[in-house]
Structure 1
Amino acid sequence: MPYEPTIQSATPATRYGDPIVYPTAIQQPAMLPTELPPGVEMVTLPGGYRTLAYTQPQPHAPAPAAQPVPAWAKTTALLAPTVGGGIAAAGFGISYAAPGLIAMTEALWAAIALIAVGVIAPILLRTGRGAGGRGAAPAQHVTQNITASGMFGRATGTINQH
């Protein structure tokens, strides 16, 4: 039998698809990202190794063309300060008018009270007359007869009290 050398490896047998593990790794000097020339980048290969590679520059998409501002946006932009100024002016006017509005409110309540007294007072006076024991005062009827002759004639009349 011829001599056949036996090979013994330090690593166990691998299956298909397992990553390949090398017994020694090669140490290379590391470069800082700022030292890389243009077009060269650090890439990771599918096996997990990181290395420097030339890359293709990505085509730049053209910038979108500037579109004109719509008319409604211009109108809104012009109306916004006007409406805001109007609201501010209204608030300013109301703040100056507040004391006058308070005074007018008090005057309105006084007028309502005067009307109420004018309506209620005659009712109270009529019922107050009967409180002396005499009963209510008799109602008086007054009739007037007025006559005039002609367009510019003198008017005469009589008053009868019953």
Structure 2
Amino acid sequence: MYEPTAYEITTPHPWTQPPATAARPVILPAEIPPGVDWVTLPNGVRTLAYTQPAPPPPIPVAAAQPIPAWAKTTALLAPTVGVGIGAAGIGLSYAAPGLIAMSHALWSAAALVVAAVIAVPVLIRTARRAVGGSGAGSGGSTTHITQNITATGLFGRANGTINHR
């Protein structure tokens, strides 16, 4: 079982000095644990006591620098550019059906131009043969026109002659 032990507590009085014959323990500086240091009490007695660690030196705060103009401009333009790109995307999504129809129309127009370039000379050649006959037996005469043009230099004046035969 548990048996209480009695201890005698003695407290030295501050007005009494310890006897001169009492040996005080000697503590070397290397044996002092961290956070403990020698302090001098108000009555002049030096003793070991727990001390607060020294506060770290304050970090020097630099003076506030003004914001450069290019940074302000970039910060103001970034949302504007983003909104512009977003609006362009929305506009393209609304215009997509019309753009698809226009691309189909352009392909149709290109096909019509190619067909006209091929078909018109064939039709003209066919119409000439039908109107002019077979050539030698029809009695028709053909006129040959020759044109000679000469020019000197890149921007020189051009001279030409036309011959009817």
TM-score range, shorter chain: 0.3 to 0.5
With normalisation by structure 1, the TM-score equals 0.44
With normalisation by structure 2, the TM-score equals 0.43
